[in-house]
Amino acid sequence: MEVLDAAVAEFADHGWRGTTFEGVAQRSGSSVASVARVYTDKAGLLMAAFRRASFGDYDNLQAAYAGLRLHAGMSVDERLGTIADFVSGVMQRVAPLISPLQQAIAEDERIRELVEMARARRLSTSQELVRIISRDGQPRGGAVEQVYVLTSGETYLQVVEELHHPAEAYADWLRSALDVAVNGRPVAAPD
């Protein structure tokens, strides 16, 4: 098991406080020294684990969205479906890391700084998403903020865990919610 995959599992199983370099090293079959050489502190390890769970081999959110090729002749409905499926997959992978991340934010200044930078990038990505899923180039007021909230891990947890909707239904809900947020109520096709 790779170090980052082991870190994802360790943070999910033991939280922010309970995860150690030793646990990650043991789970990955690496030495503590090799983990510490690459990830100099637990904050960096958590953020790298979060990125791995979120984006796989992509470096960041923008690169992951670019990998979806949302502009290549797709209709708005196809883009909405692709985005909703992508976000749903990401959320299913990162859901176990949200609580450890929230613990870390409360306790670690470096994590707070890294998360603030990530939030700024996510806001920028939300602006881009609004642009590419707008049906007429005139998105509703507040659409960027709504897309930002709709695509958050916290929203995913509320829909799936608190409201007890199946994770499989989340992508359909999200597609519809994004369309309403950006375009208003979709107009039904004529008979």
> What is the DSSP secondary-structure string of the chain?
--HHHHHHHHHHHHHHHH--HHHHHHHHT--HHHHHHH--SHHHHHHHHHHHHHHTTSSSHHHHHHHT-TTSS--HHHHHHHHHHHHHHHHHHHHHHHHHHHHHHHH-HHHHHHHHHHHHHHHHHHHHHHHHH-SSS-PPTTHHHHHHHHTSHHHHHIIIIIS---HHHHHHHHHHHHHHHHHSSPPPPP-
pLDDT score, position 59: 81
Ordered mean pLDDT values, 10 residues apiece, the chain (191 residues): 90 96 96 92 92 85 84 88 94 94 94 91 92 91 96 93 90 94 70 46
DSSP 150: H
Please identify which residue in the block is written with the tokens 């409360």. Answer: 106
Query: Under a CB-based contact definition with an 8 Å cutoff, are residues 148 and 140 in contact?
Result: no
* Tokens standing for residue 27: 């789970």
Q: Which residues contact 169 (CB under 8 A, 6 or more apart)?
A: none
* Tokens standing for residue 145: 């903020």
pLDDT score, position 167: 87
Query: Under a CB-based contact definition with an 8 Å cutoff, are residues 47 and 11 in contact?
Result: no
Q: Which helix (H) or strand (E) holds 33?
A: helix 32-38
Distance CA 102, CA 154 (A): 10
Distance CA 180, CA 31 (A): 50
